[in-house]
A and B are shown apart, each in its own frame.
Chain A
Amino acid sequence: MKRGVVLPATAVGWSLLLAFLGTLILGVWPVIGWVNQQPMWWGLPAILVWSYGIVLVSCLVMAWANRVVEQDDDQ
């Protein structure tokens, strides 16, 4: 038996991993290429709004992950 790579052990764990990866994809090509083609949003460059949108999304994903982890800890 070989020592495998650490992977999520539960469905919620997989959801968290996908949420983290999804957030990562939001900030890199090709998504950022699409954002770059957009006109101004609320009078601001689309890249600016998108960058701070990613800040918000990353906080929300981590806040959700905290709830999951802390529930697991409590159990």
Chain B
Amino acid sequence: MTSSLPLWITLSYVAIAMAIGLHARRGQSMQSLEQWGVAGRSMGPVTLYLLIAAGGVSAYTFMGAPGWAYSKGVPVFYVVVYLAYLAMVAWYCGPRVWAFGEQFGHVTQASAISDRYQSPFLGGLSALVMSVGALAYAVLQTIGSAYILSVMSGGAIPVWAGVVAVLCCIAVYLFIGGQRAIGRTNAFQGALMFSVAWAVGLWAAYSANGTVNFAAVFERLSRDHATWMSLPGEGGSMSFSFWTTSIVVSMFSFMPPVWTQWMSADSARTVRRSATWLPTYYLVILPMVIVGFIGIYRLPDLVRSDTVVLEYAMQFLPMWLVGLLGAGTLAASMSSSEPFIHSVALTYGKDILQPLLRLSDEVTARLSRWLILPLMALIVGPLAIAEPGSLVMILLVGLGFASQVLPAFIGMFLWPRASKTGVITGILVGFVLTTLFTTVWKHPLGIHAGFWGLMLNLPVFVVVSLLTRPVDASVTTRFFRIAAPQWYRRRQALGELAGDLEH
């Protein structure tokens, strides 16, 4: 690539994101976890919608998903389905999580777990293990950011310099503005990504077929590439069972930044309204996937399928659009990595160091804020530069754990009898089985490893919970008054809760 226009457009995006991130603080003191961690629980529905949407749309949308369309075909749409279901889970759980946070002072997922099960150990353990997947995810997004800068500069910005530049940029506004900065920058990044994705997708369709109608793409594919057009897709890897179990596992994987985002809303109603319209944002995936499909016949010899959109843009689209694509992809990477880094710093401070060192809230808030710097300098940055081959495996194991924390949430929203021991035992057996079926014997019988884990995890969780001492009734009462108010009132009216208290 000879033109410097794409690089300048991409760098302009970085400058605007910086300015928005720095401006987000606007005179607010960031000395408390309530402010730095959850933006003083102040976000309205539009900001929250874009915060969650942009946080959920990573570089995968601009690189991985089109790559899947290019190499496998329609199996890629399982992502759209599970994201829609994830929004429905958010609709149910999000307002309750917000109310827990508002009434009990939680700012992290682990602090809610710790409180519900009266176990700082369980809270700290979940914080620590969840952070493995979260950090691996942040590293992969940072690598994506650096790769984009390298491509946009025609190789003039090496990957290590791209990593340093992107992390410095994020570090500055994250330190200064915390969750407020993430909210504002994600709102900008979310709008940018959506516009860029559709501009690129429509332009690509027009350049390939002389019309913006996507049907022309599939008319051509159905003649010569029929296996891409239905399940199990090209290569035969997406069976009905893998489609189904992947969706079920993914929709119940609650990553910590999402909880922090729910807690940042100004009301439970805001969380509900944002979740309601959240699936509409996933229209962003469609045009990018269409470019992947176009690549099947216009770029048949690609070595790396996840570069299909970038390669297509550089060969067939105008330079200004290539620059916008660079900015959009960088926005997707940054908007996903910054909430993960922020939530890991927050949970390390609040759920591990505070109980361990018996720190005050003020010291914990300061410490959490400063923690983003060593996290970036000692973990995310070096790993992004070194790109260890085991990184994807670490991420898969981390996500495997995330899917196995489900019992902790069942005990928070649906089943008061869930006990600490039941949750820990369920998580442990589920995690071990998921890890085995992810790394050693991959997805036996075409069923997702996480689903196998849940099939063992959930019965063990129920049986052990029933056999062990439940959490004190005053705690479950406190939680279920919020989690299930009508159910609680009805049981209270029937006099059943008196019996509960005795158990």
Chain A residues close to B by CB (< 8 Å) = 1-10, 13, 20, 23-24, 27-30, 32-33, 36, 40, 42-48, 51-52, 54-55, 58-59, 61-63, 65-66, 69-70, 72-73
Contact = CB atoms under 8 A, between A and B. Distances in A.
Closest 7 CB pairs of A and B: A43-B215, A1-B499, A62-B276, A9-B486, A3-B416, A51-B77, A29-B240
Interface string B450-489: 0000000000000000000010000010001001101101
A2 B483 CA distance: 18
Contacts of B244: 28-29, 32
Given A13-B486, A54-B81, 11 more contacts: A1-B499, A1-B503, A3-B415, A6-B480, A9-B486, A23-B88, A32-B231, A58-B84, A58-B279, A59-B280, A69-B272
Interface string B401-429: 00000000000011111000000000000
B282 A55 contact: yes
A55 B285 CA distance: 12
B121 to A, nearest CB: 23
B361 interface: no
Contacts of A43: 213-216, 218-219
A8 B499 CA distance: 21
B503 A62 contact: no
B415 A66 contact: no
7 contacts: A1-B499, A2-B500, A40-B229, A44-B214, A51-B77, A58-B85, A62-B275
A9 B276 CA distance: 22
Interface string B65-84: 00000000010011011101
Contacts of B216: 43
Contacts of B498: 1
Among B241, B416, B480: residue with most chain A CB under 10 A: B416
Interface residues on B, range: 35 or more
A47 B231 contact: yes
A51 B231 contact: no
A63 B276 contact: yes
A72 B487 CA distance: 13
Interface in B208-240: 213-216, 218-219, 222, 229-231, 240
A6 B240 contact: no
B91 A62 contact: yes
B417 A3 contact: yes
B87 interface: yes
A27 B279 CA distance: 14
B484 A6 contact: yes
Among A8, A42, A58, A69: residue with most chain B CB under 10 A: A58
A40 B215 CA distance: 9
Nearest to B239: A29
Given A27-B81, A28-B247, A45-B218, A61 B88 contact: yes
A7 B416 CA distance: 12
B361 to A, nearest CB: 32
A36 B230 contact: yes
B330 to A, nearest CB: 26
A6 B80 contact: no
B88 A62 contact: yes
B88 A7 contact: no
B387 interface: no
Given A1-B499, A59-B279, A52 B273 contact: no
B229 A45 contact: yes
Contacts of B484: 6
A3 to B, nearest CB: 4
Nearest to A13: B486
Contact of B230 (A4, A42, A45, A62): A45
A6 B415 contact: yes
A66 B282 CA distance: 21
Contact of B81 (A46, A51, A63, A70): A51
B269 A70 contact: yes
Nearest to A26: B81
A27 B85 contact: yes
B480 to A, nearest CB: 7
Contacts of B470: 3
Interface string B230-261: 11000000001101100110000000000000
Contacts of B483: 6
B253 to A, nearest CB: 16
A9 B493 CA distance: 12
Contacts of B231: 32, 36, 47
Contact of B88 (A20, A28, A42): A20
Nearest to A28: B244
A44 B230 contact: no
B248 A59 contact: no
B77 A47 contact: yes
